[in-house]
C-alpha cells in the first residue's frame, strides 16, 4: 500500500517526472486475487472448457466439446458414432454465410433444431418405461402424450407424432387452437395414441373434442372443473357421441419449489375428493359411469426427487383404485408432467434448475408406485401415461446469438499535472477527504481508503450538480477512485457484453421466473477465456440482461472480442426447446429468431439443412401490433417525393435519389429488427422477404442460392 500512498500524496506537490497511474511501482504491492478468475494454467484445452462450462453435466449425452474447441451435437445420444457428430459452428456458418458464398443468408439470432435429438428423447423415454414395465412385472403398458403447449411449432408436433407412432404416442391440448392442431396431427399418428383434452372448457371446446371422437381419434375429455361435466353430458347426448371422460385430481402431495405452485389442495386445476365423489354420482345417475376411464394429476414441473414422485404417484394410485371400487370404467392413470431437466449439471434434488434422477430412475419409480398400490388393492394395472413435454423437447433446440461489443468501466489515466489540477479545484471538504485518503493509503488501511474515496467522489458529484465544477473534474475523480479500487483489489472486473438478442423474446423465462439455462460460447473453447461478463440485450429496458448463470455465478467466462479480424463471437443457449418460443413477446418490436432444422447425414459435414426460415421482418412485427406496413411505406414514400421536389437538383438526379430512398425504405420494412451482420450495411433482401427454404425428410438436400426470394417479389409499388 505504500506505493498507493506515495501516488496519492504526490498530488499535493508531485515530484518531477512522476506519472500518476502509469508508474510501475504503483502495482508493486500484493493485490487480492479475484474470486471470479478463470483457473490459470500454462496450457488450455477443450477438456478444461468442458469442465469450466459444465458441458458434460448438463449436455450429456447430446452435447460435447470437440477437439477443435467447438460445441458438437451428438444427434443420436449415446449411440452417436464419431463421424455423425455435428459441429455447431459449421451449422451456424452455413446458416449465416451470404448466399453467394454457399450459405443461406439467415440473420441471427438463430434457433437450430435437431429432429434426431427429438427422436432420441422420445425413444429413450419409451425405452425407460418399457424396461421398468418388464423388470417390475407390470401387466399393462406405457404410452406417453406430448403437451403441445411446450412448443406448438408445426414441425415439432408433426415429428413427435411421426417418431412416436410406433409406440402409441399421443398429444395433449389445453385450448381450442391446440385441440385443432392436435386433431389434425393425430390423423397421421397411431390410432391408439391418446388425445388428452385438458384446460378450462366451454361448449365449443367440448363439442370439438366430441367431433374428434367421431373422427375415431382416441379422445379423452379431462374434467378440470366440476361444472364441465354437465356440458359434457348434455352435448354428448345431442351429438350422439359416447365420450371418454377423465378427471384431474387435486392431490395433497406438493413440492415446495417454484414449479410446485400449481399442485396440492390449493392448486389452480383439478377436483377435490368431495367434487370427485359428486362427479362419480352424477355419472352413475346418467348411466355414464363406464365413460370415466382416466385419472389425471400433476405434482408440478421439475419434480426434484424420486421420493416426492413416489409419494405423489402412490397417492394418485390410491384415488385410481377407489374409482375402480366405485364402479368407474378406469383404464388409464395420467401422471402429468414433472419429469425434470438438469439445467446446471449438478444432479441435485435441492434446486429448481436440476433434478436428482435420470430417465430410468423416473420410469422405475412410477411403475413401482402404481404396481404396489394396485396389487395391494387387487386392481388391474392401468395403462400409464405421462405428459413429459419439457423432457422431450428441451434438448433438441439451441438458440445461437452473437456478442457484438463489450464495455467495461474504464476511466482516464491522470498525469501528475492533471492530478495536481484536480486537487486544486476541490473545495475544502473534498480536499480534506483527499488528504484522509492519502493518509489511509500510507497506513495500508484498505477499508478506510474506500470510505474516503467514496466520500470524495460524492462531494465532487455534488459540486458538479451545483454547477461549481466541470465535467473534466468529474472524470478526474472517477479516475482517482478507480485507481484506488484497482490498487486494493476491490475493482469489479466484470464486463458487459452486448448481444444481438432480446431476452424478452427469446429467453422470457429468465426475465419472468429467474429460470437459468446453460449459456456457452460455441467456439474458441480451445482457448482460455480471459474475461468475465454479463450479457445485455438490444432492448431499451434495464431488465434486458442476463446476470445469473448456472452454478450460482453472477458472470460468465468469456473471450475477448475482435480477435481474428473482427470474427463473430457466437454464444449458445441450450435446453431451451420448451416454452421459450411460445412465451416470447414483442418487447421493443423485436420478433422471433430465424429457424434452422438440421438432420444428421452422410455429407462431409455430417448434417443437412431440411428447413430454414428467416425471423419475422420489421413489417411482420408491425402487423402484429395492428399497424399496416404497406400504408406506412406509402406515407413515407410520398413524404420522400415531396422532399425531393424541393431540392435544387437536376430532375434526373432527383428521380435517382428518390428511387434509392424509396428502395431503402422498402428494404427496412423487410429486414429483421435485429442488428445486421458486420459484412453489410443492409441485410440481404432475399433472406428476409418472408421466403423460406424447405425439403422433405425423404429427400434431404443442401440448400443453395436458387432458394432466394428475388427483388421482384417485394411490394409492387416499390420504386427500384
Residues with catalytic roles: 540
Sequential DSSP letters for 371-440: HHHHHHHT-PPPEEE---HHHHHSTTEEEEEEEEEEE---PPPPPHHHHHHHHHTS-HHHHHHHHHHHHH
CA angle (544, 563, 537) in 5-degree steps: 5
CB environment 572-582: b (16+ within 10 A), e (fewer): bbbbbbbbbbe
CB 313 within 8 A of CB 366: yes
Instruction: Find, among 391, 592, 569, the residue nearest to 507 by Cα.
Output: 592
Take residue 8 and report the three cell numbers written for it: 496519492
Q: How far is CA 192 from CA 89, 118, 189, 195, 216, in A?
A: 41, 21, 8, 9, 10
Give the strand pairing for 170-173 and 194-197.
parallel
- Please classify residue 664 by burial: count the beta carbons closer than 10 Å to its beta carbon, then call 0-12 exposed, 13-18 middle and 19+ buried: exposed
CB contact set of 216 (below 8 Å; sequence gap of 6+): 191
CB 628 within 8 A of CB 639: no
CB contact set of 341 (below 8 Å; sequence gap of 6+): 302, 355, 390, 391, 394, 395, 575
Map residue 244 onto helix, strand or coil. coil
Euclidean distance between the first and the last CA atom of the chain, given in angstroms as a whole number: 68
Helices (H), 228-358: 228-239, 273-285, 306-325
Amino acid at each position: 500500500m505504500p506505493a498507493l500512498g506515495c501516488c496519492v500524496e504526490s498530488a499535493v506537490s508531485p515530484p518531477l517526472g512522476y506519472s500518476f497511474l502509469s508508474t510501475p511501482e504503483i502495482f508493486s504491492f500484493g493485490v487480492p486475487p479475484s474470486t471470479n478468475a478463470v483457473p490459470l494454467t500454462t496450457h488450455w484445452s477443450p477438456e478444461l472448457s468442458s469442465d469450466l462450462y459444465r458441458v458434460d453435466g448438463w449436455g450429456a449425452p447430446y452435447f460435447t466439446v470437440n477437439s477443435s474447441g467447438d460445441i458438437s451435437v451428438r444427434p443420436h445420444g449415446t449411440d452417436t458414432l464419431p463421424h455423425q457428430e455435428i459441429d455447431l459452428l459449421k451449422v451456424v456458418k452455413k446458416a449465416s454465410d451470404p448466399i453467394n458464398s454457399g450459405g443461406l443468408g439467415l440473420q441471427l439470432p438463430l434457433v437450430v433444431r435437431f429432429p434426431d435429438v427429438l427422436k432420441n428423447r422420445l425413444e429413450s423415454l419409451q425405452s425407460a418405461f418399457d424396461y421398468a414395465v418388464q423388470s417390475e412385472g407390470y401387466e399393462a403398458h406405457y404410452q406417453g402424450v406430448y403437451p403441445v403447449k411446450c412448443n406448438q411449432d408445426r414441425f415439432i408436433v408433426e415429428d413427435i407424432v411421426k417418431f412416436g407412432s410406433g409406440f402409441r404416442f399421443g398429444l395433449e391440448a389445453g385450448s381450442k387452437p391446440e385441440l385443432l392442431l392436435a386433431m389434425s396431427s393425430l390423423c397421421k399418428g397411431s390410432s391408439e395414441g391418446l388425445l388428452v383434452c385438458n384446460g378450462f372448457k366451454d361448449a365449443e371446446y367440448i363439442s370439438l373434442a366430441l367431433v374428434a371422437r367421431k373422427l375415431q381419434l382416441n379422445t379423452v375429455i379431462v374434467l378440470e372443473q366440476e361444472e364441465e361435466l354437465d356440458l359434457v353430458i348434455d352435448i354428448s347426448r345431442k351429438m350422439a357421441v359416447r365420450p371418454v371422460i377423465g378427471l384431474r385430481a387435486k392431490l395433497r402431495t406438493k413440492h415446495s419449489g417454484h414449479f410446485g405452485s400449481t399442485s396440492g389442495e390449493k392448486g389452480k386445476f383439478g377436483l377435490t375428493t368431495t367434487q370427485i365423489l359428486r362427479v362419480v354420482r352424477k355419472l352413475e345417475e346418467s348411466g355414464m359411469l363406464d365413460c370415466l376411464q382416466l385419472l389425471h394429476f400433476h405434482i408440478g414441473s421439475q419434480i426434484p426427487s424420486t421420493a416426492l414422485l413416489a409419494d405423489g404417484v402412490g397417492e394418485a394410485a390410491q384415488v385410481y383404485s377407489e374409482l375402480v371400487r366405485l364402479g368407474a370404467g378406469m383404464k388409464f392413470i395420467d401422471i402429468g408432467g414433472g419429469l425434470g431437466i438438469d439445467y446446471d449439471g449438478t444432479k441435485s434434488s435441492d434446486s429448481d434448475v436440476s433434478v436428482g434422477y435420470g430417465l430410468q430412475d423416473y420410469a422405475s419409480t412410477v411403475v413401482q408406485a402404481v404396481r404396489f398400490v394396485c396389487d395391494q388393492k387387487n386392481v388391474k394395472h392401468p395403462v400409464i401415461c405421462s405428459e413429459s413435454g419439457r423432457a422431450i423437447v428441451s434438448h433438441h433446440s439451441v438458440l445461437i446469438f452473437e456478442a457484438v461489443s463489450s464495455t467495461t468501466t474504464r476511466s482516464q489515466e491522470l498525469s501528475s499535472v492533471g492530478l495536481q489540477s484536480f486537487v486544486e479545484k476541490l473545495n475544502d471538504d473534498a480536499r480534506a477527504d483527499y488528504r484522509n485518503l492519502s493518509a489511509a493509503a500510507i497506513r495500508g488501511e484498505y477499508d478506510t481508503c474506500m470510505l474516503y474515496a467514496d466520500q470524495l467522489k460524492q462531494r465532487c458529484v455534488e459540486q458538479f450538480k451545483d454547477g461549481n465544477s466541470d465535467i473534466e473534474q468529474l472524470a478526474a475523480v472517477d479516475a482517482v477512485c478507480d485507481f484506488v479500487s484497482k490498487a486494493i483489489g476491490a475493482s469489479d472486473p466484470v464486463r458487459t457484453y452486448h448481444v444481438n438478442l432480446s431476452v424478452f423474446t427469446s429467453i422470457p423465462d429468465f426475465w419472468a421466473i429467474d429460470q437459468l439455462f446453460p449459456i456457452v460460447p460455441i467456439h474458441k473453447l480451445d482457448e482460455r477465456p480471459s474475461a468475465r461478463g454479463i450479457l445485455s440485450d438490444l432492448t431499451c429496458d434495464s431488465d434486458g440482461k442476463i446476470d445469473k448463470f448456472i452454478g450460482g455465478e453472477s458472470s460468465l467466462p468469456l473471450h475477448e472480442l475482435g480477435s481474428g479480424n473482427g470474427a463473430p463471437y457466437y454464444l449458445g443457449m441450450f435446453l431451451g426447446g420448451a416454452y421459450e418460443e411460445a412465451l416470447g413477446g414483442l418487447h421493443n418490436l423485436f420478433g422471433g429468431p430465424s429457424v434452422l432444422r438440421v438432420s444428421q447425414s452422410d455429407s462431409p459435414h455430417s448434417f443437412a439443412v431440411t428447413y430454414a426460415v428467416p425471423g419475422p421482418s420489421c413489417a411482420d412485427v408491425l402487423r402484429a401490433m395492428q399497424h399496416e406496413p404497406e400504408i406506412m411505406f406509402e406515407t413515407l414514400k410520398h413524404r420522400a417525393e415531396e422532399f425531393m421536389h424541393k431540392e435544387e437538383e437536376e430532375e434526373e438526379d432527383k428521380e435517382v435519389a428518390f428511387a434509392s430512398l424509396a428502395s431503402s425504405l422498402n428494404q427496412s420494412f423487410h429486414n429483421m429488427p435485429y442488428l445486421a451482420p458486420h459484412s453489410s450495411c443492409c441485410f440481404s433482401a432475399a433472406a428476409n422477404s418472408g421466403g423460406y427454404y424447405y425439403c422433405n425428410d425423404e429427400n434431404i438436400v443442401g440448400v443453395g442460392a436458387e432458394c432466394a426470394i428475388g427483388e421482384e417479389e417485394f411490394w409492387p409499388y416499390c420504386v427500384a
